[in-house]
Amino acid sequence: MVQSAVADDVFYALSNSTRRKVLEQLAVGPATVSELAAPFDMKLPSFVQHLSVLEQSRLVKSKKEGRVRTYEIVPDRFRVAEDWLSARRQLWEARLDRFDQYVKQLKEKE
């Protein structure tokens, strides 16, 4: 998959508060579907759709033992979002630095 499609999947997965809360919970440690669903007032089929979206983005992975599916976070995948954001930040910081420099030059000319 091309990089921009990967970023689409990751940012889409992050775009929903239910899914972000699931990621916050998984940051603490692996959890089962019913543990993850417990804080939400949501029917299970709707809730597991969110887990599907997270799994598809590969921000999480799961394994099934017997009838119990357990989710855990995939930290590496968060770099897709992080890298994109930090590239934007570097660009803006460089731009601000140059602006700073320019204002200093103007000041010196006065």
Partner 1 sequence: MNTMSEQFTINPKLDFAIERFIDAPTRLVWDALTKPEHIKEWYMPRAWGRVSRTELDARPGGIFRIDIALPNGQEVPNLGCVLEVVPMERLVWTAMLFPGYRPAVFDDIPITAIMTMEQEGSGTRYVFTALHRNEADLQANKASGFYQGTEIAIDQFVEHVMAMK
Please choose, from the candidates 8, 24, 84, the residue with its C-alpha nearest in 3D space to the C-alpha of residue 60. 24
Q: Which of 69, 70, 78, 84 binds partner 1 (CB under 8 A)?
A: 69
Q: Which helix (H) or strand (E) holds 97?
A: helix 78-109
The CA distance from 13 to 19, in Å, is 7
The CA distance from 23 to 14, in Å, is 9
| Residue 36 is a binding residue for partner 1 (CB under 8 A) | no
**Contacting range for partner 1; rule: CB under 8 A; set: 20-28, 52-60, 79-87, 92-100:** 52-60
Whats the size of the chain, residue-wise?
110
| Residue 52 is a binding residue for partner 1 (CB under 8 A) | yes
| Count of residues near partner 1 by CB under 8 A | 18
**Which positions lie near partner 1, rule CB under 8 A?**
1, 16, 18, 33, 42, 44-46, 48-53, 55-56, 62, 69
